[in-house]
Amino acid sequence: MEQVRILIDLQEVMSQARRLEEEKRKIPLEVSDLKSLFEEREARYLATEQEFEVLRQQRREKEREIEEERDKVERAKAKLMSIKTNKEYYAMLKEIEGTRRSNTAREEELLALLVRYEETEKRLAEQKADLDEVSARYRERMVEVEARMGSFDGDIGKFLARKRQVSSGLEPGLVRRFEMIFERRDGIAIVPARNSSCTGCHMHISPQLYNLLQREDRVHTCPNCNRILYYEAAGNEAAGG
């Protein structure tokens, strides 16, 4: 029966396309670990970069405060020359000394801040080098993946074109039914019937249906699994015939 032969060819073409699709879906998994590593390194670097920027702003603010206080001391020292009373003079000296003490504390805070700043700057440089290395590996791997994906797309496209060509010899309704069975039955839509049994689900089929299959004049399906059936003589049947 011509339709059966076409359906068998169609199943082979669709099965090959299906296998390629499955292989294609596996490709991104091959780089999932490297992608996770890249994302982890990137997140760590960005967090350190943000920490470094905060320290930079704190450093600038502390240096500004120290410079302003130094200017304040210099202005106060210059003002001493114009003070006329001892009380005002000693009050100004006290103010200058207080400003110097507070500035000394600020300078100590700045020193501690500079230590953190330099440590973070060093860590940031190390993480940047690490990120660049992982990023380069990831980009290189993705180029390979995209090339393979493109190759798969090309091959799948050829099979889909072949599928359209093969199915053009069938009724559109039969093609739709075949595709539905193909999807529901894990890529096996048409199977032979041997020894009065469906080789798809291995269930016994009625003698009447088995006889109809041998006539090969129309498409029949298995009452149990709904796969399309065609007659294939078993060894003992062929010998008996």
CA 164 to chain centre: 32
C-alpha distance from residue 36 to each of 21, 31, 41, 42, 139 (Å):
24, 9, 9, 10, 13
Q: How far apart are CA 141 and CA 40, in angstroms?
A: 17
Residues in CB range of 113: below 8 A, 6 or more apart: 55, 58, 59, 62
pLDDT value at 241 more than 70: no
* pLDDT score, position 78: 79
pLDDT value at 189 more than 90: yes
pLDDT value at 239 more than 50: no
Residue percentage of the chain with pLDDT more than 90 = 71
Write the DSSP symbol of residue 192. Answer: E
Q: Please write the tens of the pLDDT for every residue from 90-146.
A: 888 888 888 888 888 888 989 999 999 999 999 999 999 999 999 999 999 999 999
Q: DSSP H helical segments within the chain, as ranges?
A: 2-30, 32-80, 86-167, 172-184, 207-215, 235-240
Q: Please write the tens of the pLDDT for every residue from 154-179.
A: 999 999 999 999 999 999 999 999 99
Q: How far apart are CA 237 and CA 194, in angstroms?
A: 9
Query: Are residues 230 and 216 in contact, defined by beta-carbon separation less than 8 angstroms?
Result: yes
Residue-range domains of the chain with CATH: 2-167 (1.10.287.1490), 172-240 (no CATH)
**How much is the average pLDDT of 208-233?**
92
Average pLDDT, the chain: 91
